[in-house]
Structure formats: structure tokens, C-alpha cells
Amino acid sequence: MKESIRKYALELGFSACGFAAATPLDSLRDFYRHFLEEERHATMGYLQRYASQRLDPQQLLPGVRTIIAVMMNYYPPALIPEEDNFILSKYAPGKRYPQYIKGKMVPISGLLASMGENVQSNIYVDSGPVLEKAWAQKCGIGWQGKHTIVINPRGGSFFYIGIILTTLELEPDLPETDHCGKCSRCMEACPTGAIDKPYQLDIRRCITYCTSVKNTTMPEEVRRNLRGRIYGCDICQDACPFNRFSKPSAETHFHPHPDLSKMSKKDWINLSRERFEELFAGTSVAESGYERLMQNVGYVSG
């Protein structure tokens, strides 16, 4: 059953699929508690409100037996030129992913339902109190690097993660081991010091958080170190040697608007609201809003 599910997931366009037993994440309790006590979660209050559920899948789906993790590649087919330009994170120009990937996962849930009586399954993609990265590692599809992003040993880290909780019992895979070793390139590359400890991120100093979340005040330290970034970052990921294995995604849903490759600094500075809506319709940039992006442009061009 497990291998037929994995094969089906790959046929649906996922890059990896793994399985883990749905046991509480007790080994992460102290780490998560310290993370919250040090207020590293910034304004993301839901991380504290749902801490208990995030550590115990039984609270999300009573009777859950198995966790399934899948990865979908979003690496763009061509990188937007950086010369005489401001910089967007590689995920930013693509269409919003949670609902799209959930739709891709629904057939997997249907397959699970056909494999037993009264099988129940819940799907999560950047939604709900689920520790996606911890489960991805337990399911054997990658490990959480020192920059806190999941790295697949054969494909790098430019992936979205989807999680299925199911009452169907399936044999677990071996968890992925940590391959970071003594490498600390991601930590050294971060210009704001947001990765101040291995495997720990201070969200308050993360460029991605500070340039994308509405109604946040960007600290002066971050503003001085944007390095031309107007939405998102990728500096730590670009520094990771495993991303030499990154390959362009075949999912056109994540491909940027073709006109973005023609933009220059002058175009960004003079970007109208109407043009913004053309370039970013359906993306997370549009969700953050025109004012947020133009504020960021002002920071890097001032």
C-alpha cells in the first residue's frame, strides 16, 4: 500500500513522498518552549496559541496512525536578472501555493480512503497547527538544515511541503539524517544575523518576514542589510551547497510573469498599482499588497 501511494504521489507531480508513525513530537517540546519564551516567533501569535496541537497530531485527528509528507518543487525555470534590478525571492512571483498543492493532494486522500474502512485523513499545506518541517524529516524526505529550511539531499531546499494525517496504518520510512555537518555557510551568509544559532531562526530579523508580512515594523538593522531585496530573501538557501542540485519546476503555476525578467530599478521605483496587479495577480506579493512592496522599494532605493 505504501509504495502504491508513493508512486501515485510522484505521478501527481510531487518530488518526494514519505511516511512516519503519528507519535507526539516530545523531543521538540523543550526547543519549542524556548523558541516561544524568547519571542522568536515575532507577531505570529498562532505559533503560541496552538503549540500543544503542533506537537501532538492526535489533537488534530483522533485515531491518527500515519503522517505522510510530500514535497513540490517551485524552483523557477529562469532566474530574474539581478543587474540594475531589485531582487525577489524565488517563490514570490509564483502563484499562491497552499490551495493549489492541497488540490494536488486530494487524490492521495481518496486513495487512502479506498484502502480501508472508515479511513479519515486531513490535509495541511502551510495551514493548521502542524510542524511540517519536523514531519518531513521524520518521513525521510529531507532534514531541517541549520537555516531551519528542509533540505532534500537530491534536490536542495526550494520545495513546498504538504502533510497528510491519516487513520490508516502504514509502515514508516526511516527518518532522514542531518547532512549539514560542520558547514555553516547559511549562517555566515545571513546579513541580519537572523540565524544566530544552528537550526534556530529569529523571525524578527528575517528579511523574508520583514519584507512580506503586513503591518510589521522593519528593524533598522534589517533595513540596512536588505541587499536590494524587496520581497523575500533566499540568501541562506543560495549559500547552501545542496542547492546545486536544484532543478526548474515543471509546475507552470509557480512560474513568474514573463515581464518580470525585463524589470529594472527604474521600473520598480515607478511601478503603478495597475502594473503591480498585472505582474503579481494571485501571488503572495499581491496578498501583502502594493503599499508593502513599494515601501520595501523605498528602503532599498533611498
Distance from the Cα of residue 94 to its chain's centroid: 13
Contacts of 198 (CB under 8 A, 6+ apart): 146, 180, 184, 187
What CA–CA distance (Å, rounded) separates 199 from 202? 10
Q: CA dihedral defined by 185, 196, 80, 84, rounded to 10 degrees? A: -100
Cell of 43: 507577531
Task: Give start and end residues of each alpha helix (H) in the chain.
Answer: 2-11, 29-37, 46-49, 51-55, 98-113, 132-138, 185-189, 207-212, 220-223, 235-239, 265-269, 273-280, 284-288, 290-301
Q: What are the angstrom distances between the C-alpha of 174 and each of 161, 180, 242, 250?
A: 18, 18, 21, 28
Q: Which region, left, alpha or beta, applies to residue 128 given φ > 0 means left and ψ of -120 to 50 means alpha? A: left
DSSP letter at 161 equals E
DSSP letter at 79 equals P
- Would you call 18 helix, strand, or coil by DSSP? strand
Cell of 99: 490551495
Q: What are phi and psi of 196, to 5 degrees?
A: -85, -10
Residue 196 annotated to the active site: no
Catalytic one of 26, 30, 56, 126: 126
Q: Catalytic residue positions? A: 126
